[in-house]
Structure 1
Amino acid sequence: MQLTLSGVTYAYPSSFEPILDRVSIAFPEGWTGLLGDNGCGKTTLAKIACGLIVPDAGSVSPHLASAYCAQETDDPPAGLFDFAADFGRDARALRVALGIEDDMPWRYDELSFGERKKLQVACALWQRPDVLVLDEPTNHIDHDARARIAGLIQGFKGIGILISHDRELLDEVAARCASFEAGGIVVRQGGYTAAHAQAELERATVVRERRAAKGELARLAAEKDARAHEAARAQARRSKRHIDPKDRSAKAKIDLAIFTGQDGARGRLSSQMDARMQAAERRVGAAFVHKRYDGDLWVDAAPSPRKVVVRIAEARIPCGAGTLHIPELFVGNRDHIGIVGPNGAGKSTLLGHIRPRIARDLVVLDIPQELDPARRAQVLERVRHLSDAERGRVLSTVAQLNSDPDRILDGGATSPGELRKLMLALGMLEHPALIIMDEPTNHLDLHSTEALERALAAYPGALLLVSHDRVFLDGCTTATWKVRDGAVTAR
């Protein structure tokens, strides 16, 4: 069984250009990781594969039963109440595996983002479709639940399409990765690590080829210039304008050179260089290297002059139905701290306890886990009212975090990942001494996650990050606060 998309083209009504243009790809049985930058069309392609969007051109065949697990958790998943009413073996096994209580489907709006995500995944698997699309299935999910989700989706026997920034999950599950790149979609075998290594090898090869091609082009340009000068001198030697009309010997020599082609050969060689130059230029153009932004985002940033920016006294505070014990904690002016723990353990409660205890004169950038519509509109409105210089700096930062500034300026739908980058870029204008981010990698593509990881690792101030992405935290934090079983442990 295989799902084939042929020549698929699709444009959103508000877009100037199609987001997908004559895309062709085949999805065999097993899991295919779908990789690419925010806004490149991964979700659109996945929805077309599921039949949720009809392409403007192209075809999808054959027609198969499909299920789509959305990235956002705002709306209840399809089939939620049928799943809630099913007490058959499969439904019960899914509820046990994911820790879903019987009443949770009936109070979906009251659930945490992580609990909603588990219900989304359970409903999608419960439908036993031929084609299953999971769009960021581990957003908001703690490490233990992520492991259970990975085990469940590994057991899926149909055609699976996985859109995820979770590098560990892609390595565990995906047999191949399809990556949106300049010129189309490239399929490589293996999970993220193998596919990424192959892409880097290909990039290094192209870089070497481009360097060699540019060197050859420069050599040919110099040779062409030298031959052009030689041809000009030969032409001058063929001229009889400055020869004495009575000097028959000099005229005879010029006529002999023209007859034998000695001087004309240089002119012909010069003209032949054009074809070689054009071939070299095509070689340089073919060796395209996608631009990377590896510069320092924090050139004018500095840590707070205070050695300790936050001090939290020992306390026991309400947390859900119980309490959370917090020992005496300190945040140094250069500390990068990751806050980890299972869903519902109290990580957000801990942040809520910390926020009012931060000195009011300390410049803080606080980016929440999710943005409500009003906050999203507020962020975009602020960008529109920036000065030209500030807007240029913000959009430059967004570009370095792997998003297209033109897409944001066009006024189209801004993705949750792009909004997070915008908030970080806007916050940088204030030169924060402390950055707080709750689940910063949610909704980000892999390249953006890596760019954010590099940026935060280089941040010179204090950092508090709540995340379930252990690879991300390992890359940009140096200390850990663990929240579990009603207590916070610093290490």
Structure 2
Amino acid sequence: MIRASGISLRRGVKVLLDQSEFTIHPGERVGLVGKNGAGKTTLFALLQGELDLDAGHLSMPESWRIASVEQHIADRDRPAREFVIDGDRDLRRLQDQRAATHDDDGQRIAELEAALLEADAWTAPSRAEQLLAGLGFKPEEWLLPVGHFSGGWQMRLALARALMAPSDLLLLDEPTNHLDLDAMLWLERWLVSYPGTVLLISHDTEFLDAVAKAILHIDHHKLVRYKGGYHDFIMQRAERMQQAQIAYQRQTREAARLQSFIDRFKAQATKAKQAQSRVKALSRMQLLAPLKEDSSISIQLPSPTYVPDPLLTLDKADLGYGSTAILKNVQLMVRGGGRIGILGMNGAGKSTLIKTLAGQQAPLSGEKVAAKGLEIGYFAQHQLDMIDPDSSPLQHLARLAPDVREQELRNYLGSFGFSGDMASNPTAPFSGGEKARLALALIVWQKPNLLLLDEPTNHLDVDTREALATALAGYEGSVLLVSHDRHLLRSTVDEFWIVADGQVQEFDGDLEDYRDWLLSRNASARADARKETRALQQDDSNSVDRRTQRRQEAETRQRLAQLRKPLDKQLGKIESQMEKTGERLQELDLLMQDPNFYTDQYKDERPQLLAEHGELSKQHTELEEQWLDLQEQIETLAQSDH
């Protein structure tokens, strides 16, 4: 298990953990939650041995293998499938040793072949392909170089590589950030069946509910453990805070009563002893601190001045880039006050649709009609790159509203969590979540009547996501939302569009129906792929002539004979030794069955003969075990010939 006691962690002058403790048992799936900057990623670095404790003790089994997602990808020329298999470093080490071994070293070859068999070397490509398929990679992409993929897809490859590694402890820091709903559902199922221990950082509450069986919460520099998923944690924490407040109020009243007695009677000789007793009681009292809720963010979205209806229409439009149409014959209408969630797998064309509606690119054909008075607020991930690191939130907003009083700008920024010095300091040290909040604040300042939001919750912590969901629920304009955050979708939108197979259509159902649609679609795709594979294999087998097949079979037999030769030689030696020890044991058994063996006739020889019998029995047992092991290896080689 992982056990921490009295641990303290600092980053510079900032205290992250102070005299904290926790325990994680083998096989548990634990969610790690807390505000951005609370120390979640730092705790991961500690578990991986990248940091030292400032105080306390942390222990875990030395034999545990730890897997995590690498943030930096160096080898971009590596084929995707091979890059994923590289995650199994022990396997790659064995393969390198086998490649470097001379063919005449039969003993070493046999040992390595047995080790490779134990490491499931022959199934590694198919296991890697299953991971790639689950995370959304098409078969024709499996052998493309890593550098061919965008940054988000490269992070999927890094995730697949971590899942490929044999591990006892799996550390996942925001694994769903670059996943669509399809891949997220697959990852949920994979983690639930993973036999090791999982420690998971995620701001997606439904993902945590599906995977985690316990929650570790970083709260005021302490780690507090809760049983169950995220919503169980919310309920238990609310009850804990209520009980703590009751205990604090009770202690405050008792301390006041003691102090009152002391103040009243300390000068009276008859009461001096009793007053001194109260002083001691008060000094022994371990003062409780009131358990306060972290300061929360309350996002306020200004109501639009005017909302025309309809706002936007696309009529028989082809959407795409250059001369390539990704979506064809699109016909849709965005109504005033509409709240639409856009579903579809990554690469299906969701962002293409949003960019076209936002005016970032024109339709390749067809017609796009915008209502008079349309004001669009468009949020996409590239908005974070537009944040000037040398400027403060206040300066960013003042550029949009140069004639507005500073206090009004500060009040507005405060509703997005930028108050005091944070509003006037440069944004360079801001986290991704803080930059996303600022970008959103700048977008909605101009009171748009149509919000186009493409994955707005990436990098946002749970509290900010909840604040955004609440704000969008009360927003009086129209919303088109692309998000893999199911809680945000459920609480914000009234209907869904689905982007799939080059089309955009209304989806008659909810997120559960969409999940069932995905599972059915993927099952059909896998069945079609298996049929195609069998057909190709059949065609290949028919195209190989009998002479080539005989040559391949002969080469296989020759290779297996070469591998079996040292095993047969070793087997012969063991059988010879077993024959000798067996014959001597038989002689000793006959002698020990003779009644005279236990008389004075054998008094001097008997101890030595009994010791010899015991040693030979032990040797014979060991030789039998070696013989059985060699027979098993030979049988395995024979089976691989079929």
TM-score surpassing 0.5?
yes
1:18 aligns to 2:15 (yes or no): yes
1:161 aligns to 2:199 (yes or no): yes
Letter in 2 for 1:37: K
1:405 & 1:184 partners in 2: Cα distance? Answer: 26
- The aligned counterpart of 2:345 is 342
- The aligned counterpart of 1:396 is 414
Give CA deviations for 1:211-250 in whole Å, capped at 9, x if unaligned: 7777x599979x969x99xx8xxx9xxxxxxxxxxxxxxx
Are the structure 2 counterparts of residues 317 and 404 from structure 1 closer, same or farther at C-alpha, using a change threshold of 3 Å?
farther
- The aligned counterpart of 2:440 is 424
Question: 2:171, 2:199 within 8 Å by CA — same for their partners in 1?
Answer: yes
- The aligned counterpart of 1:246 is none
- CA drift at 1:347: 0.3
List gaps (5 residues or longer) in structure 2: 87-91, 93-120, 360-367, 399-404, 508-642
Give CA deviations for 1:164-208 in whole Å, capped at 9, x if unaligned: 122232222212110111240101111212222211222333455
Question: 2:455, 2:484 within 8 Å by CA — same for their partners in 1?
Answer: yes
The 4+ residue runs of structure 1 with deviation greater than 6 A are 72-77, 211-214, 217-221, 274-279
- CA drift at 1:390: 5.3
- The aligned counterpart of 2:313 is 312
- CA drift at 1:40: 1.0
Are the structure 2 counterparts of residues 103 and 338 from structure 1 closer, same or farther at C-alpha, using a change threshold of 3 Å?
closer
- The aligned counterpart of 1:28 is 25
Question: 2:309, 2:371 within 8 Å by CA — same for their partners in 1?
Answer: no
Letter in 1 for 2:146: Y
Question: 2:16, 2:38 within 8 Å by CA — same for their partners in 1?
Answer: yes
Letter in 1 for 2:45: K
2:147 & 2:420 partners in 1: Cα distance? Answer: 34
Which SS does the other structure have where 1:305 is aligned?
coil
- The aligned counterpart of 1:239 is none
- CA drift at 1:19: 3.3
User: What does residue range 200-349 of structure 1 map to in structure 2 within 5 Å?
Assistant: 200-207=238-245, 216=253, 286-291=289-294, 293=296, 297-298=300-301, 301-308=302-309, 310-319=311-320, 323-325=326-328, 327-349=330-352
Mean Cα deviation higher: 165-174 or 403-412: 403-412
Letter in 2 for 1:125: L
Which SS does the other structure have where 1:289 is aligned?
coil
Mean Cα deviation higher: 27-36 or 317-326: 317-326
Are the structure 2 counterparts of residues 395 and 24 from structure 1 closer, same or farther at C-alpha, using a change threshold of 3 Å?
farther
- CA drift at 1:59: 4.7
Give CA deviations for 1:42-90 in whole Å, capped at 9, x if unaligned: 11111221223444555543444322225x688779x975435787414
Q: Aligned to 1:375, which of 379, 386, 393?
A: 386
Mean Cα deviation higher: 326-335 or 134-143: 326-335
1:140 aligns to 2:155 (yes or no): no
Are the structure 2 counterparts of residues 75 and 355 from structure 1 closer, same or farther at C-alpha, using a change threshold of 3 Å?
farther
Give CA deviations for 1:318-371 in whole Å, capped at 9, x if unaligned: 458764145433333432221111111110010121111657964433221355
Mean Cα deviation higher: 30-39 or 147-156: 147-156
For the aligned residue pairs, the C-alpha RMSD in angstroms reads 4.3
Are the structure 2 counterparts of residues 323 and 31 from structure 1 closer, same or farther at C-alpha, using a change threshold of 3 Å?
same
Letter in 2 for 1:26: T
Which SS does the other structure have where 2:171 is aligned?
strand
2:42 & 2:423 partners in 1: Cα distance? Answer: 16
Are the structure 2 counterparts of residues 483 and 404 from structure 1 closer, same or farther at C-alpha, using a change threshold of 3 Å?
farther
User: What does residue range 37-52 of structure 1 map to in structure 2 within 5 Å?
Assistant: 37-52=35-50
Give CA deviations for 1:2-48 in whole Å, capped at 9, x if unaligned: 23344444444xx4423344443333222111011111111111122
Are the structure 2 counterparts of residues 433 and 207 from structure 1 closer, same or farther at C-alpha, using a change threshold of 3 Å?
farther
1:128 aligns to 2:159 (yes or no): no
Are the structure 2 counterparts of residues 212 and 24 from structure 1 closer, same or farther at C-alpha, using a change threshold of 3 Å?
closer
1:105 & 1:368 partners in 2: Cα distance? Answer: 30
- Taking structure 1 as the reference length, the TM-score comes to 0.75
List gaps (5 residues or longer) in structure 1: 236-257
2:75 & 2:177 partners in 1: Cα distance? Answer: 16
2:449 & 2:58 partners in 1: Cα distance? Answer: 51
Letter in 1 for 2:497: W
1:487 & 1:11 partners in 2: Cα distance? Answer: 52
- The aligned counterpart of 1:96 is 130
Question: 1:296, 1:458 within 8 Å by CA — same for their partners in 2?
Answer: no
- The aligned counterpart of 1:68 is 68
Q: Higher relative contact order by CA 8 Å / sep ≥ 6: 1 or 2? A: 1
Mean Cα deviation higher: 421-430 or 144-153: 421-430
- The aligned counterpart of 1:180 is 218
Structure number with bigger Rg: 2
1:132 & 1:404 partners in 2: Cα distance? Answer: 39
- CA drift at 1:473: 0.5
Letter in 1 for 2:41: T
**Structure with the higher helix share, 1 or 2:** 2
Letter in 2 for 1:69: V
- The aligned counterpart of 1:4 is 3
1:488 aligns to 2:488 (yes or no): no
1:217 & 1:388 partners in 2: Cα distance? Answer: 48
- CA drift at 1:94: 3.6
- The aligned counterpart of 1:437 is 453
